[in-house]
């Protein structure tokens, strides 16, 4: 035990020394909607970063599909980044953004359950097995590199089979977020209102609901909002930099998926014009549940130095993530977007109230009537909501 503690104490020392290399500045560091003053809050910054679940390449897991690869080294980095973004949403969903992790400290049972959603086993709902096999339905062979939009579509479909977390996953199209569609998807009737006669009239307004004047006030399904974007042709257009950074300041922020060609990173914040990210390009051995049903989580948190990249070196294909646990969180996000994103002459994306008339009708995705897992379902895509991939959103191959 002492040797284990010594190992991680050394890692913390390395991390702290690395932070000394950060510029001695009064600038704030923003991490997923929270700010840290670098001069006086380095330990808090370390704690905040190390609390994020960190998913990397793994080896020696059961072959994907029975005969496929038993390691995702070299091809699974974007899938791992998607896992990290989703895991952050689940942490916010069950434990809250202010939850902190400490090594060797007993954690809430919800934390263990979240972690088990991502183990590298075919029966875990967001495992590398499930994501890779669901990607086949998106035109990606097992072992083929994903772009950010493909990962978003895969997470959207897998979430349909995840009853415990019960997330509504909305992936924007054509750089446009539609408020009407999101509210249609996230507003769900209470369990007691399950007969036609119990349903609220169509004329019931959101203002009446918020004031509590009706017994039929719908519940809100927690929202994972993913916005795939292309912010330039071959490199990011500098006109988008300020708006991109503003997204990390929003309390709903889940960061961004992106990186460089065929090298994906999970961006969690920024300092000045440098993005801070978690890097999945470390190959670790598969970890399974122990005899007592828990997971040893020591390799699922990054205690090493945080890495940084100048924002202008970012590939222009990215996907922003946001989590809105309640409807008021989404309304607040809309206000922030109106204030900080839509003020730009060249907007990073659009936020509109009504569903565009020239688009196909919006139908909220629903779990298909099958008894399989998502991975086994990939040959029956017509039973899932089909969204055409926009290849322009994929990170360019070199």
For the annotated catalytic residues, the residue numbers are 77, 279, 281
Task: Please tell me the distance from the alpha carbon of residue 213 to that of residue 221, in angstroms, as a whole number.
Answer: 21
| Count of C-beta atoms within a 10 Å radius of residue 249 | 17
CB environment 69-106: b (16+ within 10 A), e (fewer): bebbeebbbbbbbbbbbbbbbbbbbbbebeeebeeeee
- Residue-wise over 151-163: b if at least 16 C-beta within 10 A, else e? bbbbbbbbbbbbe
Q: Which spans in the chain are helix H?
A: 2-19, 42-50, 77-94, 109-116, 128-136, 148-158, 179-186, 206-210, 241-249, 327-336
CA-CA distances (angstroms) from residue 165 to 33, 83, 92, 287, 306? 22, 14, 11, 22, 29
Cα–Cα distance, 332 to 328 (Å, whole number): 6
Q: Which residue has the tokens 């609901």?
A: 209
Task: Using DSSP bridges, classify how beta strands 283-285 and 57-59 pair: parallel, antiparallel or unpaired.
Answer: parallel
The residues near 77 (Cβ < 8 Å, ≥ 6 apart) are: 57, 145, 259, 263, 264, 265, 280, 281
Give the number of residues written for the chain.
398
Residue with tokens 């292309």: 230
Q: How many helices (H) and strands (E) does the chain have?
A: 10, 15
Measure CA 245 to chain center: 17
How far apart CA 81 and CA 149 sit, in angstroms, is 12
The whole-angstrom separation of Cα 389 and Cα 362 is 17
Q: What b/e string do you get for 30-66 counting C-beta neighbours within 10 Å, with b at 16 or more? A: bbbbbebebeeebeebbebbbbbbbbbbbeebeebee
What 3-state class would DSSP assign to 136? helix
């Amino acid at each position: 035990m002492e040797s284990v503690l010594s190992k991680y104490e050394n890692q913390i020392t390395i991390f702290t020394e690395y932070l000394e290399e950060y510029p001695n500045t009064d600038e704030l560091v923003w991490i997923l909607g929270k700010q840290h003053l670098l001069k006086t809050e380095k330990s808090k910054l370390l704690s905040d970063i190390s609390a994020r679940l960190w998913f990397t390449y793994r080896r020696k897991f059961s072959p994907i599909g029975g005969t496929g690869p038993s390691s995702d080294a070299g091809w699974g980095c974007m899938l791992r980044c998607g896992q990290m973004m989703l895991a952050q949403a689940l942490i916010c969903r069950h434990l809250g953004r202010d939850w902190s992790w400490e090594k060797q400290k007993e954690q809430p049972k919800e934390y263990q359950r979240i972690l088990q959603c991502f183990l590298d086993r075919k029966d875990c709902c967001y495992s590398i097995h499930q994501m890779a096999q669901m990607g086949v339905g998106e035109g990606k062979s097992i072992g083929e590199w994903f772009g950010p939009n493909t990962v978003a579509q895969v997470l959207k479909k897998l979430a349909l089979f995840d009853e415990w977390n019960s997330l509504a996953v909305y992936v924007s199209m054509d750089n446009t977020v539609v408020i009407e569609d999101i509210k249609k998807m996230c507003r769900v009737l209470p369990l007691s209102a399950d007969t036609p006669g119990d349903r609220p009239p169509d004329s019931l307004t959101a203002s009446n609901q918020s004031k509590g004047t009706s017994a039929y006030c719908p519940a809100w399904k927690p929202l994972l909002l993913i916005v795939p974007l292309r912010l330039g042709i071959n490199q990011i257009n500098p006109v988008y930099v300020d708006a991109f950074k503003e997204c990390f300041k929003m309390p709903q922020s889940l960061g961004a998926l992106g990186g460089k060609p065929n090298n994906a990173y999970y961006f969690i914040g920024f300092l000045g014009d440098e993005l801070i990210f978690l890097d999945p390009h470390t190959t670790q051995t598969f970890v399974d549940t122990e005899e007592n049903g828990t997971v040893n989580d020591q390799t699922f948190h990054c205690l090493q130095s945080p890495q940084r990249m100048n924002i202008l070196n970012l590939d222009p294909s990215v996907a922003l993530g946001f989590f809105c646990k309640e409807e008021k969180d989404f309304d607040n996000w809309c206000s922030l977007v109106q204030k900080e994103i839509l003020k730009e002459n060249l907007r990073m994306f659009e936020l509109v109230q009504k569903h565009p008339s020239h688009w196909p009708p919006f139908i909220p995705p629903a779990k298909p009537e099958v008894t399989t897992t998502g991975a086994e379902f990939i040959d029956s895509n017509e039973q899932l909501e089909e969204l055409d991939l926009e290849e322009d959103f994929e990170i360019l191959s070199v």
